[in-house]
């Protein structure tokens, strides 16, 4: 306990030194030798990193890190990434929280990182970054109202962008994001969002079983009343990240800055639907997506809850006008949408509570209906709030035939994922199976940030994204912003 306390104090001291140095420099930065950002070049073979930089180091810049995801990108070191990281942000508690997390990663007992932060804090942080460009890739995770403008400014300047979700939060932002993707194409840089859930073992195995025709058959079309794909997730405002109670910015609970629930976490759900049902296939939102229904509703947040998660003693002035007669904030974090993707009906829902009960975290329910089987992720009380994977016969399907196909599929998957087995829960009465996944394959959410970052570094080195990624990112943000537009009508 003494050792942990000492490490924690050292982390706080280091972050304070980093931040105070930035303040004392009054915007001046001590620069390490850096490769300059690449010049605009539309040739595909030189995209990502400039041709002279391919095989060299990725040099990160962190822009206004208002969300803890910015720090999670740096929870690990990467062979391709230089240890010197340049941070540009306004002075204040958000950049201090980011620096505290980096300091804690640098001073932890097990496998510490060795990041060297060069911090610039002043009101002209964006302009300063664009003028200096000491790196070649920008990480953006923070105020979502500003994010799309940040993205567009960075790609205009010939910089690669690794952005947290969501990239935009309304129809106007979507239009600017489309322009940003066009500019990135013209300037030969890679614009990519951080989709961590593709590295979740439950989602990976669900996808592999859905794509197995002997097990799943054909994806059903579904209807408004019985969609072929259903995804629902439940989240919580107060939680622990890397063992530390989360501190959210005061603006987080202003939907004009953070965005409503329909445009935030839904990005992951939409991405998983595309990635699972239509792998490696580009989607044109103009002809492949039709929004059918959407609705929204608030989570009610008391002043005491707001204080607990932000450390602010009261609601700020910009939120007081939104309080109800009892002084409670209606925060529109919840939403539901139904749309079709190439004729397949999809239903997505996201909801937020303040804090999960003891032993319970965020949860995810996912259903894909096939002609032979339904493949389902459940994470309820019966599963002890731990996600589990199930396969059930579709209506009218032959259960014995499915059992044989499923056993064969799981046996084939064991070569890549040793220890996978099947069992029939008693409650299923012979009408379904659970795929048992060993703990060694269940990597936590924070570890997924390393995996998605490594994937982006691979794309930077190769100088290109897969052909389907950009149209599908655009389609994803069309779906979120169109759903919000419809729900608000």
133 lies in the same domain as 237: no
Q: Angle at the Cα of 345 (from 372 to 293), degrees rounded to 5?
A: 155
Q: State mean pLDDT over 278-298.
A: 98
Q: How many CB atoms lie within 10 A of CB 18?
A: 23
Through-space distance between the first and last CA atoms of the chain, rounded to whole angstroms: 55
At 7, the pLDDT band (50, 70, 90 cuts) reads very low
pLDDT tier for residue 243 given thresholds of 50, 70 and 90: confident
Tell me how far apart the alpha carbons of residues 421 and 63 are, in angstroms, rounded to a whole number.
Answer: 45
Same domain, 91 and 122: yes
Query: Within this chain, do residues 213 and 108 fall inside the same structural domain, yes or no?
Result: no
Q: Does residue 270 belong to any structural domain of this protein?
A: yes
**192 closest CA partner among 101, 58, 68:** 58
Instruction: Provide φ and ψ at 285, rounded to 5°.
Output: -60, -25
Q: Where are the beta strands (DSSP E) in 317-416?
A: 329-341, 344-355, 363-369, 373-378, 388-393
Q: Is the pLDDT of residue 322 over 80?
A: yes
Q: What is the pLDDT of residue 239?
A: 87
pLDDT at 108 over 80: yes
54-to-36, 86, 139, 326, 464 alpha-carbon distances in Å:
13, 20, 19, 59, 12
Is residue 259 domain-shared with residue 185, that is, in the same domain?
Answer: no
The total of structural domains in the chain comes to 2
- Determine how β-strand 363-369 pairs with β-strand 229-238: antiparallel
Q: Is the residue at 463 inside a domain? A: no
pTM here?
Answer: 0.88
Average pLDDT for the chain: 90
Q: Please identify, among 174, 194, 214, the residue that sits at the C-terminal boundary of a domain.
A: 194
CA distance 302 to 293: 30
111, 257: one domain:
no
How many Å apart are CA 238 and CA 321, to the nearest integer?
24
Shared domain for 134 and 222, answered yes or no, is no
Question: What's the pLDDT at 48?
Answer: 64
Last residue of a domain, one of 176, 194, 212: 194
Q: What average pLDDT does this structure show over 344-355?
A: 97
Residue 12 belongs to domain with CATH number: 3.40.50.720
Q: Over 60: is that where the pLDDT of 51 sits?
A: no
Q: Tens digit of pLDDT for each residue in 142-173?
A: 999 999 999 999 999 999 999 999 999 999 99
Question: DSSP letter at 220?
Answer: P
Cα atoms in the 13 Å half-sphere on the side-chain side of 262: 28
The CA distance from 246 to 238, in Å, is 6
Phi, psi torsion values for 153, nearest 5 degrees = -65, -40
Residue 167 CA to residue 170 CA, distance in Å, equals 10
Whether residue 268 sits in one domain with residue 150: no
Task: List the structure tokens of 405.
Answer: 């196909």
**Using one digit for the tens of pLDDT, what is the confidence trace for 389-445?**
999 999 999 999 999 999 999 999 999 999 999 999 777 666 799 999 999 999 988
Could you tell me the CATH number of the domain that includes residue 399? 3.30.360.10
Instruction: Judge if 241 and 110 occupy the same domain.
Output: no
Q: Is residue 479 part of a domain?
A: no
Tell me phi and psi for residue 388, to 5 degrees: -135, 155
| Structural domain that includes position 243 | 198-447
* Position 36 pLDDT exceeds 80: no
Shared-domain flag, residues 182 and 208 = no
> Are 181 and 262 contained in the same domain?
no
Give the confidence band of 486 by pLDDT, cuts at 50, 70, 90. Answer: very high
For the segment 277-292, the average pLDDT, to the nearest whole number, is 98
**310: CB partners within 8 A, 6+ apart:** 247, 248, 249, 250, 252, 253
Residue 267 lies inside a defined structural domain of this protein: yes
Number of neighbours of residue 28 by Cβ within 10 angstroms = 11
Exposed / middle / buried, residue 156 (Cβ in 10 Å: 0-12, 13-18, 19+):
middle
Residue 242 lies in a domain: yes
Residue that is last in its domain, among 159, 194, 229: 194
**Cβ contact 188:441 at 8 Å:** no
Per-residue pLDDT averaged across 450-463, rounded? Answer: 96
468 part of a folded domain: no
Q: Is residue 212 part of a domain?
A: yes
Average pLDDT value for residue range 475-479: 98
State residue 465's pLDDT score. 98
Shared domain check, 107 and 149: yes
Residues written for the chain: 489
Q: Are residues 9 and 146 in the same domain?
A: yes
Residue 474 inside a domain? The answer is no
- Say whether pLDDT at 466 is over 70: yes
Q: Angle at Cα 454 formed by Cα 185 and Cα 275, nearest 5°?
A: 65
């Amino acid at each position: 306990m003494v050792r942990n306390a000492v490490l924690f104090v050292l982390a706080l001291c280091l972050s304070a030194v980093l931040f105070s140095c930035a303040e004392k420099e009054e915007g001046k930065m001590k620069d390490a030798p850096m490769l300059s950002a690449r010049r605009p070049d539309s040739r595909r073979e030189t995209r990502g990193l400039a041709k002279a930089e391919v095989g060299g180091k990725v040099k990160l810049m962190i822009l206004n890190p208002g969300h803890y995801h910015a720090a999670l990108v740096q929870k690990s070191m990467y062979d391709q990434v230089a240890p010197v990281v340049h941070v540009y942000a306004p002075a204040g508690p958000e950049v201090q929280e980011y620096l505290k997390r980096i300091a804690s990663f640098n001073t932890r007992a097990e496998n510490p990182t060795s990041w060297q932060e060069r911090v610039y804090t002043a009101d002209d942080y964006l302009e300063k970054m664009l003028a200096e460009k000491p790196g070649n890739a920008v990480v953006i995770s923070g105020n979502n109202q500003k994010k799309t403008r940040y993205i567009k400014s960075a790609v205009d300047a010939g910089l690669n962008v690794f952005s947290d979700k969501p990239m935009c939060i309304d129809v106007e932002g979507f239009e600017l994001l489309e322009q940003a993707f066009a500019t990135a194409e013209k300037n030969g840089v890679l614009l990519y969002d951080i989709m961590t859930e593709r590295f979740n073992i439950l989602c990976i195995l669900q996808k592999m079983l859905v794509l197995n025709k002997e097990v799943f058959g054909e994806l059903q079309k579904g209807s408004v009343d019985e969609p072929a794909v259903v995804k629902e997730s439940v989240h919580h405002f107060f939680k622990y990240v890397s063992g530390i109670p989360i501190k959210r910015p005061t603006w987080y609970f202003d939907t004009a800055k953070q965005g409503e629930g329909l445009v935030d976490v839904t990005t992951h759900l939409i991405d998983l639907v595309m990635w699972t049902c239509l792998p490696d296939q580009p989607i044109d939102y103009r002809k492949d997506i039709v929004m059918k229904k959407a609705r929204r509703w608030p989570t009610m947040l008391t002043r005491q809850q707001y204080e607990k998660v932000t450390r602010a003693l009261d609601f700020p002035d910009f939120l007081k006008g939104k309080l109800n007669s009892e002084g409670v904030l209606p925060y529109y974090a919840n939403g539901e949408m139904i749309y079709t993707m190439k004729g397949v009906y999809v239903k997505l829902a996201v909801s937020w509570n303040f804090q999960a009960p003891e032993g319970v975290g965020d949860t995810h329910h996912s259903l894909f209906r096939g002609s032979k089987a339904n493949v389902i992720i459940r994470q309820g009380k019966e599963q002890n709030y731990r996600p589990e994977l199930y396969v059930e016969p579709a209506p009218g399907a032959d259960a014995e035939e499915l059992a044989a196909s499923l056993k064969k599929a799981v046996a084939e998957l064991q070569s890549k994922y040793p220890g996978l087995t099947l069992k029939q829960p008693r409650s299923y009465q012979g009408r379904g199976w659970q795929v048992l996944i060993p703990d060694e394959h269940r990597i936590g959410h924070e570890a997924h940030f390393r995996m998605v970052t490594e994937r982006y570094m691979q794309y930077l080195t190769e100088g290109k994204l897969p052909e389907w990624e950009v149209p599908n990112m655009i389609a994803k943000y069309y779906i979120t912003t169109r759903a919000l537009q419809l729900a608000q009508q």
